[in-house]
Structure 1
Amino acid sequence: MGAETVPALGLLGRVDLPGVAGSVSTARRYVRRVLEDSGQPDTYDAELLVSELVSNAVRHSESGRAGGRVTVVVANLGDVIRVAVIDEGASTCVPVIPSEPDEESEGGRGLWLVSEVALSWGWYEGAAGRKRVVWFQLARR
């Protein structure tokens, strides 16, 4: 009888990135590598959703200002993978899912897509609104 590999629970990886558009593809590649290294063969949904969240962080939070940062955290919670994107917060907007994405618009579908693809997702503000965490969970395969 062969030994079964059981993935360790907990933090799989964390990366801090500059708050620039180029960090979207870096975050996608990072999540792919971390998940593949942990034995997760299907990374497409995680890559897609982290791209949306990092893009939103750069576009809609203080992370997009000069010197801003975005952090991506990947964790194994047993039956699910959780990916969180931590940005520098914003006083002017909060994450909102449009009831119907505007098919004519070039943007505005990111959180809608996250809500459609992820098992669950959410967001919360850190102390004094200085950080915002937006996360999603996907089934571990």
Structure 2
Amino acid sequence: MASVPRARRYVRDLLDTAGHRQADDALLLVSELVANSVRHSDSGRHPGGRVTVAVAKHDATIRIDVIDAGSPERSPSLRAGTDPGSCTGRGLWLVDELASEWGWHDTPAGRVVWFQLAGS
């Protein structure tokens, strides 16, 4: 899953330049969302699939979008009763716990899962 380290490096380089205080949280959440895209979307199931990461900063808040081909069978949702100690199934739980806001929406090109981290 080479996509995850590549996405982390990209976001780390941008946030280091911007000096954002929550870079560690952002890197963790990007890792989780890109891994979910590769595992659960058509981007990861079909040859040549793409996952795109977009980063925007407004004042002290950063917003990160993870864009993939989506999946007609699955939509992002929090699992009920997520075990924080589990090794799997915690991606969106972590996003929900750490992000100041998050959500998802479908577009004609696929799906966007996004989160925001407010700086202090």
Q: TM-score, normalised by structure 2?
A: 0.91
State the alpha-carbon separation in 2 of the partners of residues 121 and 56 from structure 1: 15
Out of 77, 81, 100, the residue aligned to residue 96 of structure 1 is: 77
Separation (CA, whole Å) in 2 of partners of 1:43 and 1:79: 12
Runs of 4+ in structure 1 over 6 Å off:
none
The Cα of 1:104 is off from its aligned counterpart by 7.7
TM-superposed deviation, 1:78: 1.7
Looking at structure 2, the residues matched to 134 and 46 of structure 1 have their Cα atoms a distance apart, in angstroms, of 14
Tell whether 2:15 aligns with 1:32: no
Q: Which residue matches 2:30? A: 50
SS in 2 for 1:69: coil
- Kindly state the Cα deviation for residue 39 of structure 1 after the two structures are TM-superposed: 2.5
Instruction: Tell me how far 1:103 sits from its aligned partner.
Output: 6.1
Name which of structure 1's ranges 32-41 and 79-88 shifts more when overlaid on structure 2. 32-41
Q: Which residue of the partner structure matches residue 135 of structure 1? A: 114
TM-score, normalization by structure 1? 0.78
Rounded Cα–Cα distance in structure 1 between residues aligned with 2:102 and 2:81: 18
Which segment is superposed worse, 40-49 or 108-117? 40-49
Deviations 1:80-107 (CA, angstroms, capped at 9, x unpaired): 1000000011011000101211468542
Q: CA deviation at 1:43?
A: 0.9
Query: Please, which runs of 5 or more residues in structure 2 have no aligned partner?
Result: none
What is the CA–CA distance in structure 2 between the aligned matches of 1:81 and 1:109, rounded to whole Å? 22
Counterpart AA for 1:44 = D
The answer to whether the 8 Å contact 2:8/2:27 transfers is: yes
Task: Give me the CA root mean square deviation.
Answer: 1.6
Tell me which residue corresponds to 1:81.
Answer: 62
How many correspondences in the alignment?
Answer: 119
Structure 1: runs of 5+ lacking an equivalent: 1-20
> What is the SS of the residue equivalent to 1:94?
coil
Q: Is the counterpart of residue 121 in structure 1 residue 93 in structure 2? A: no
Aligned sequence identity (%): 53
Q: Which amino acid aligns with 1:37?
A: T
> For the residues of structure 2 that align with 1:117 and 1:104, how far apart are their CA atoms?
16
